[in-house]
Structure 1
Amino acid sequence: MRLTRRTFGLGAAFSLVAGKSIARMAVGSGTLTTVSDGYLVLPADFTLGALPEADRSMAREIAGITGDTVETPCNLTLYQDGERTILFDAGSGANFMPSAGTILDSLEAAGVAPEDVTDVVFTHAHPDHIWGVLDDFDEPLFSEATHHIGQDEVDYWLNPATVDEIGEARASFAVGARNRLEAISDGLNTFSDGDTVVPGVVARATYGHTPGHMAFMVSDTALIVGDAIGNGHLALQKPGWASGADQDVEAGIVTRQALLAELADTGLLMVGFHLPAGGLGRIEAAGDGYRFLEEAS
């Protein structure tokens, strides 16, 4: 595997440490690092299920789906500026999927202990982003951290009606989110679109994947997009196609198209939770869609 400066931007590095992928580069006055939380094994319909039957064959070809399941990487982001160690999302923990929940090993490989984390900032409260916030004893894993989540997102998951309205396939998502948000409620800070969450980190509403999904601009240099851009294939080549992963499919399309156009126009560094090569890279227009500039062949 050969990586280029064009792939990650000036000063970036990518390596394998203790078997955990780490991508790192200087951003503003600090360092942005992505670490692996493992990967998810999802039913193919999770990607294809919202598409008309006529589009599914092409979608399978674009996404490289040959069977009934899809594997997708999970990238967690650290930003360290000398005063704070900020973790964006907390991963899956031990109870979601056996292929995921490797955050502790990955943080150790990056030289970070859970108690070093000063802030945990959530893009949203799906299992692969928030279930890892508790340890094996259902206590907050990041014991010294303040936890931050968008007000619209926390209102949605704490609404008692959500578990009945979200659909049977996602009912466990609602139960798990509520349990974890209640467990960290004493140290939970909420915010809205445009707010400064912590110094240098500004929230951007990117609703659709969930009702309160947020992205984060870091030091006016890098945009952490969470699941607003959900993969490195269909989301880029066919951003106007529906994603079965989005709870509000139409809002997800609008958000995704606007984000990709902005990223391609500005050349901003970005981090995608489910994108390849640690998720750290840039977006470039390509025909009717886009491509993610990552590792070179």
Structure 2
Amino acid sequence: MLTRRHFLTASAATLAAPLAPRRLWAASTLTLGETRIDTLSDGNLVLPVDFILGGMPEAELQDIRARYGLPSDQLTPPCNVTLLRDGTNTVLFDVGSGPDFQPSAGKLTEALAAMDLTVEDVTHVLFTHGHPDHLWGLLDDFDEPLFPNAQHMIGQAEFDYWTDPETANTIGEARATFAAGASRRLGVIADSLRLLIDGEEPLPGIFARLTPGHTPGHLAYEIAGPTPAMVLGDCIGNHHVAFERPDWASNSDQDKALAATTRTALLDRLAVDGHAIIGFHLPGGGIGRVERADKGYRFVEET
């Protein structure tokens, strides 16, 4: 069963100051048998348009821009962190940006509080990949793990990439801070980190799926249930060009050609299988389905 609910919540500071603005959180809920999945807002990113759309065929891109009302200067994709609860485990897929990336993001602890949860309640953290908006919320102000009771897991290939000293020299100047930030954070938990391979079952009914290209070891997570669901991370990174023209190269991907191949094959499979999807940067909380369209696919948001 898919539902959406909207609710007003206040941070501790807001509760102490009743006249301060309150944050409106939109949470989408997906129920798979006894398992409940909520998406929690970590805020949003603010990106130059060319970070995603640069270099794409201009004539067809203009049509897509018009249909989706995309601005010409910057994009503000949402950041949807997935929370899974099965009665035993409380699982986060990624941890958001934390305070050190962009001021518009890093709001996950507020969203957890809105669900009457604390960081101590989280039992597992499963990372899709090592980019700042997914990983940098790992540590607290004292550089200790923010989720002290959680077992943390990431793909073996992803861990190897971000902890390799050569990555900072090869990733490109624009992403050099990504490498430094990921290496530092993963280094703190390296001794206790569980490393995953493609097809592994990190928790009962959750399967790691290698979906490379956006980053070298990117993982999506398939969740078993009456209607299976897939936590996408960034292997499908937006609701417009990624669906309509998954074969187009995007500047947001580190290996553009591989990412396009991964994206196209995955969308084809999801459209056939009818899985629910949960996208980190998809609108409306990120929960929906994939349908075939004239030239590609479309994201159908669940309401």
TM-score interval, smaller chain: over 0.9
Select which of 217, 237, 241 maps to 2:248.
241
Query: Does 2:5 match 1:14?
Result: yes
Residues 84-112 of structure 1, C-alpha deviation per residue, up to 9 Å, x if partnerless?
00100000000100000000000111222
Q: Aligned residue pairs: how many?
A: 287
Match of 1:207 among 206, 209, 212: 212
Match of 2:157 among 129, 152, 175: 152
Does the CA-based 8 Å contact 1:28-1:219 persist in structure 2? no
- CA apart distance, 1:54: 5.6
Of stretches 44-53 and 192-201 in structure 1, the one that deviates more from structure 2 is 44-53
The secondary structure found in structure 2 opposite 1:187 is coil
Q: Hey, what's the Cα distance between the residues in 1 that align with 2:189 and 2:63?
A: 43
Q: For 1:183-239, what per-residue CA distance to the aligned partner results, in whole angstroms no more than 9, with x for missing partners?
A: 111321001000011121110010000000000011251111110110011111111
Distance verdict in 2 for CA 1:295–1:84, change over 3 Å? closer
Aligned equivalent of 1:67: 72
Cα gap change, 1:46/1:63 in structure 2, threshold over 3 Å: closer, same or farther? farther
**Displacement over 6 Å in runs of 4+:** none
Q: Deviations over 1:54-110 (max 9, x none)?
A: 655445435533332111000000110111001000000001000000000001112
Question: Alpha-carbon deviation of 1:243?
Answer: 1.1
1:45 is aligned to: 50
Amino acid at match of 2:190: S
Equivalent residues of 1:197, 1:203 under 8 A apart: yes
TM-score (norm 2): 0.91
**Which whole-Å CA distance do the structure 2 matches of 1:209 and 1:17 have between them?**
34
List alignment gaps of at least 5 residues for structure 2: 10-23
CA distance in structure 1 between the aligned counterparts of 2:7 and 2:239, rounded to whole angstroms: 21
Q: CA contact under 8 A between 1:73 and 1:275: conserved in structure 2? A: yes
Match of 1:5 in 2: none
> 1:141 — aligned with what?
146
Does the CA contact (< 8 Å) of 1:22 and 1:110 recur in 2? no
SS in 2 for 1:197: coil
3-state DSSP class of the match of 1:46?
A: helix
CA-to-aligned-CA distance 1:3-46 (integer Å, 9 cap, x gap): xxxxxxx3423323421111112113211111100000001110
> Do structure 1's residue 173 and structure 2's residue 178 form an aligned pair?
yes
Equivalent-residue separation in structure 2 for 1:127 and 1:105 (angstroms): 18
Aligned to 1:191: 196
Name the aligned partner's letter for residue 13 of structure 1: R
- SS of the equivalent of 1:278 reads coil
Letter in 2 for 1:155: D
Query: Which of 92, 99, 111 is the matching residue for 1:94?
Result: 99
Alignment of 1:97-116 (within 5 A): 97-116=102-121
Considering Cα pairs closer than 8 Å and 6+ residues apart, tell me whether 1 or 2 has the greater RCO.
Answer: 1
Equivalence for 2:167: 162
The amino acid of 2:90's aligned partner reads T
Q: Contact 2:288/2:302 (CA < 8 Å) preserved in 1?
A: no
Task: Kindly indicate whether residue 243 of structure 2 is the aligned counterpart of residue 252 of structure 1.
Answer: no
- Within the candidate set 272, 275, 297, 1:290 is matched to 297
Q: How far does residue 152 in structure 1 lie from its aligned partner after superposition?
A: 0.3
Q: CA deviation at 1:286?
A: 1.5
2:184 alignment partner AA: N
Given candidates 248, 263, 266, the residue that maps to 2:270 is 263
Q: Report the identity percentage.
A: 50
SS at match of 1:136: coil
User: Residue 63 of structure 1 contacts residue 234 of structure 1 at CA under 8 Å; is this kept in 2?
Assistant: no
Map 1:117-128 to 2 at 5 A.
Answer: 117-128=122-133
Q: Please, which runs of 5 or more residues in structure 1 have no aligned partner?
A: 1-9
Task: Let me know the Cα RMSD of the aligned residues.
Answer: 1.5
